[in-house]
Every structure is written in C-alpha cells, then in structure tokens.
C-alpha cells in the first residue's frame, strides 16, 4: 500500500486571507501608534524604529510627488523632523498612523517643489536683469534685431571674461534653469560656494555689460 503523502497544505480561502490581512494591519497600526506615543515623549529610539518601519513606503510616496531621488530624501528627512515635533498632537481616533505620516510626507514634498520652483525663478530673474538692465538702448522696439545681436555679442564677451567656475555656474543656472541647491549637487560644491560664485559672476556681468550700454 502506498504511504500517505505528507506536506500538502490546503489552500486558504479568500475570506480567511482577508481576515488575516486585516488582523496584521491592526497589529501594525497598534505598533506604529505605540511608537508615535513614545516619540511624543521624546524617545529617539522609537523615532528610529518608526523610521525603519515606514520610511520605505513614505519615500516611495515622496518620489511620486517630486520625481527626484534627492528631493524625495529631503522630503523624508523633513517629514521625520516634523514627526519629532508634532507627535504629541497625533490622535489615533482621527487618522490611522500611516495615513497621518503619508499626509505629512506629501505636504513636505509639495512644499519642497514650491520652494525649488521659487528658487529657480528668482535666480533666472537675477540673471535676466544682469543681461538686460544695462543693454536696453534707445530703440523703442525691444525685439529689434540689431539690438538683440549687439546684446548677444556683449553677453558672450562678458561671459568669456568670467572665471571658469563662475561662468559655469551662471551658464548652468540660466540655461538649465537650476536652483542654487541643484547646482551645488551637480557640481559637487558647497552651497555657500555656489551662491558666492553666482553673486560675484552677476556683479562682474553687470559691470562688464555696462560698458556696452
């Protein structure tokens, strides 16, 4: 007689599987709520544990909003700084823990997008002013071909007189519409150095281009 086969596991019914998933979600919520309560009491170990359990999902959410790994990391860091400050305000009766954290990281991501957009626009405006303010000329038509050609030649000449690094950061900022932070990341330079080079470069551009006015 053939021996009975062993090791066979009966398939789990969909109802049982849903019940199991719901129970696991309840356990996770309870764990996260307990951690948030400890964070509210300024428990740094609890914050690290909370980060370890939730950062993967929160990073993915931030990345979908900002479309940049660097920015998503910044948004995630800002989120957990906010968690540290606002954990005492969390109310489990109003929101599940992951929903609370998700709303927070989305808000920080959108704030970051708005901030970077403002930085880029401000920097581009500065460069536009440096290029245009001294070269308006007497022509009533701002699209005058001759004037535009003169401005282009003047700009090229003045840019060539900048230090190589200053010329690089000014050109990247203007042509690629990058913020100070993005320039620092791309050029692997301290943020303060990038800001100094841009400020000095724009000052030199204004001085140089004034001679062509």
pTM of the model: 0.51
Closest CA to 127 of 193, 187, 179: 179
CATH number of 22-115: 1.10.1740.10
* Closest residue by Cα to residue 188 from 165, 157, 213: 165
- Based on the number of CB atoms within 10 Å of its own CB, is 109 exposed (0-12), middle (13-18) or buried (19 or more)? buried
d(CA 152, CA 160): 12
Tens digit of pLDDT at every position of the chain (213 positions): 333 343 434 444 444 444 444 445 556 889 999 999 999 999 999 999 999 999 999 999 999 988 888 889 999 999 999 999 999 999 988 888 999 999 999 999 988 888 777 666 666 666 556 555 444 444 444 444 444 556 666 677 777 787 777 777 777 776 566 777 778 877 788 888 888 888 888 888 778 877 765
Look up the CATH number of domain 133-210: 1.10.10.10
CATH 1.10.1740.10 spans which residues of the chain?
22-115
Domain with CATH 1.10.10.10 in the chain: 133-210
């Amino acid at each position: 007689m053939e021996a009975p086969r062993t090791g066979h596991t009966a398939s789990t019914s969909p109802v049982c599987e849903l019940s199991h998933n719901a129970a696991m979600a309840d356990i996770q919520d309870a764990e996260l709520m307990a951690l948030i309560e400890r964070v509210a009491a300024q428990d740094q170990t609890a914050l690290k544990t909370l980060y370890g359990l939730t950062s993967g999902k929160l990073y993915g959410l931030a990345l979908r909003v900002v479309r940049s790994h660097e920015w998503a990391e910044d948004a995630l860091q800002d989120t957990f700084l906010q968690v540290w400050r606002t954990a005492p305000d969390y109310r489990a009766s109003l929101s599940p823990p992951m929903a609370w954290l998700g709303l927070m990281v989305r808000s920080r991501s959108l704030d970051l997008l708005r901030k970077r957009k403002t930085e880029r626009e401000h920097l581009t405006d500065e460069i536009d002013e440096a290029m245009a303010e001294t070269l308006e000329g007497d022509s009533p038509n701002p699209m005058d071909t001759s004037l535009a050609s003169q401005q282009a030649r003047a700009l090229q000449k003045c840019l060539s007189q900048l230090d190589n690094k200053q010329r690089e950061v000014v050109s990247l900022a203007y042509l690629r519409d990058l913020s100070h932070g993005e320039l620092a990341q791309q050029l692997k330079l301290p943020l303060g150095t990038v800001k100094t080079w841009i400020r000095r470069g724009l000052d030199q551009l204004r001085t140089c281009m004034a001679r062509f006015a």
